[in-house]
Amino acid sequence: MQKLVKIVLVIFVLTSACKSVKKVQIIETQIFKKDTAQTVVISEAPKVDSAAIVKDIMTKLVKRKIDFTSFNAKINVDYQSAENTQKMTAYVSLKKDSALFVKIAVSPYGVVENIYVNKDSVILIRTKGEKSIQYSAISYLQETTNIPFDFSTLQDILVGNPIFLDSNIVSYKSNSTQLLVYLVGNLFKNLVTLDNVDYKVMHSKLDDVDEYRNRTCDITMSNYMPINGHQFATYRTISVSEKSKLDISLDFKQYDFNNSLQYRFAIPTNYKPKNPVVKKPTVKKPASKK
């Protein structure tokens, strides 16, 4: 069951604010295939004002980010690792910049885990079998997934906002349907494929800047649907590899923004603590449950 929890956390940690770019380097860049994507070559020198184009790209990316106060979703999750294949359903309620509630259901057992996350802490609640509760610092997610992130990045992943764009654009290429943007930050090289009409993120390939690590991640976003004046990707695939490989698909069956949280739950007081590593956080008891 602990392995199940880790995989669920990988889902929400994967898949940002944008820094201004002062200069575009005209380069020929090759991103090599590691485990999840074919080699992509970008070799095109812009023939117009590079700085103006970059400023326009970043402005449009920021503009299309979904702003919200709350988010609810029911997600069908399929994953495949070297060890096994698993299907589950995740029920998610998110209060922006504050709290995340996740219920994990596996057929035929129903809800088997509840997960609560805030800016500082993670609480894992086992609801089947040997019922237990585990308190951890937010760093637990980083240690489990080997992906650096904070609560803001986590909520961007859930609502479908682009991530790891806090870096410099060093190359780009445009055609009638797509815009390829290559960014390099302190941690990741990020090749982002955008729709050239409305700048939806279609694909993102992340590779470590550190040449001694083989961490790579491919994220594909599709089946966009309009909601609250924004475009929301209802289907996503994620492939992560370093020492091993994990393939995940997320199919959003229900989703809404700026409504009451649907899947909140109270933290049990009679569960046996399991390996507590941080002081028990204060969690307000919700007014209603579902």
pTM of the full structure: 0.76
Q: Which residue has the higher pLDDT, 261 or 21?
A: 261
* Residue range 87-101: mean pLDDT, rounded: 96
pLDDT tens digits for range 140-186: 777 766 666 678 888 988 999 887 776 578 888 888 899 898 888 88
- 114-118, 172-176, 239-243, 274-278: least confident range: 274-278
- 41-50, 108-117, 178-187: least confident range: 41-50
Q: Which residue has the higher pLDDT, 96 or 271?
A: 96
For the chain, domains (ranges, CATH) are 2-273 (2.50.20.10)
* Residue range 53-70: mean pLDDT, rounded: 84
pLDDT at position 197 is: 85
Does residue 266 register a pLDDT over 80? yes
- At 245, the pLDDT band (50, 70, 90 cuts) reads confident
pLDDT at position 65 is: 87
> CB–CB of 194/170 below 8 Å?
no
pLDDT tens digits for range 197-221: 888 999 999 888 887 778 888 999 9
Does residue 108 register a pLDDT over 50? yes
- At 273, the pLDDT band (50, 70, 90 cuts) reads confident
Mean pLDDT of the chain: 78
pLDDT at position 234 is: 97
